[in-house]
Amino acid sequence: MKKIILAFIAVVAFLNVSNAQHDTMYVMKAGMVISQFNIYTQVDSIVFKRPTVSTFTDARDGNVYKMVTIGSQVWMAENLRYLPNVVGPATGSEFFGHNSDSYCYVYGYNGTSVASAKQNPNYAKYGVLYNWNAAMDGYSSSAANPSGKKGICPTGWHMPSNAEWTQLTNGFGGDDFAAHALLEIGTAHWNDPNNLSTNESGFTALPGGERSNIGDFFFVVGGSAYFWTSTAGDVGCYWRKQLVNNYPVVFSHGDADHYFGFSVRCVKD
């Protein structure tokens, strides 16, 4: 007998009851039938799974974050907003420079006032963009699972390694298929279209854009999400993750130099 596990967002319904077959279960999304099963020969039981979501407070600045249990991991369900300092996108090393300074950015903000940067609507929505030095906060790289590197994360949390990200995406079919399960549903933050996202993981990936290698904000917020890992990649570079609206792949590349500004999601120790 087969067990069918349905994510909490799946909707079981008929568009037209007169067209429905007897003894058949239909699964629909966005008004279309995406699966159907004979309830006698193909279904043993139905299990609706909801992500386990709770909150915690970062004692450093009072920011309250949602966190979600995904398998054996507990991830932040929001982009990190800790902002010890801020600069505009023109500040920082570029084109494979070797400046080891730490820089924090808020998309769309060009000044140096932390208080003013926090008034930018992108701060509350998408959090902070960190160069790799800021994200790691003096810690060395790590490929271990768990990474063991606190980085910029709150006490009790750490920067995820590439292996920890792989563990996350493997739970939803691997990098080639997992993005839909990680992206926030709808177009409140993501660009249209975003009608394939399910967020069945509860990870709620948000598109914070990036600080680019030419000293500007690139990939307008709403189109792409970039996240640092703690893991070294190509010579002088590090592994990054990218998610795009309405596309199933979690792009994983070890070619990001430290000068890029990406979002951070922390994992609980």
Mean pLDDT of the chain: 88
Asked if the model's pLDDT at residue 200 lies above 90, the reply is: yes
What confidence tens digit (pLDDT) does each residue in 26-43 have? 766 555 666 677 877 877
31 and 147 both lie in a single domain: no
Same-domain check for residues 24 and 88:
no
In this prediction, residue 8 has a pLDDT band, given cuts at 50, 70 and 90, of very low
Q: Are residues 88 and 30 in the same domain?
A: no
In percent, the amount of the chain with pLDDT more than 90 equals 72
Q: Which two tokens stand for residue 112?
A: 């140096």
pLDDT at 1: 39
Report whether pLDDT(255) > 50: yes
Whether residues 45 and 69 share a domain: the answer is no
> Model confidence over 153-196: pLDDT tens digits?
999 999 999 999 999 999 999 999 999 999 999 999 999 999 99
Number of domains in the chain: 2
pLDDT band at 20 (very low <50, low <70, confident <90, very high): confident
24 is in which domain, residue-wise?
A: 4-49
Query: Are residue 83 and residue 170 in the same domain, yes or no?
Result: yes
Looking at residue 2, its pLDDT comes to 39
pLDDT tens-digit profile of 62-121? 999 999 999 999 999 999 999 999 999 999 876 555 567 899 999 999 999 999 999 999
Domain match, 36 and 68 both: no
Same domain, 206 and 143: yes
| Same domain, yes or no: 87 and 18 | no
Residue-level pLDDT at 16: 53
Do 247 and 123 lie in one domain? The reply is yes
Q: Based on the domain organization, do 33 and 144 belong to the same domain?
A: no
Are 73 and 128 contained in the same domain? Answer: yes
Whether residues 123 and 177 share a domain: the answer is yes
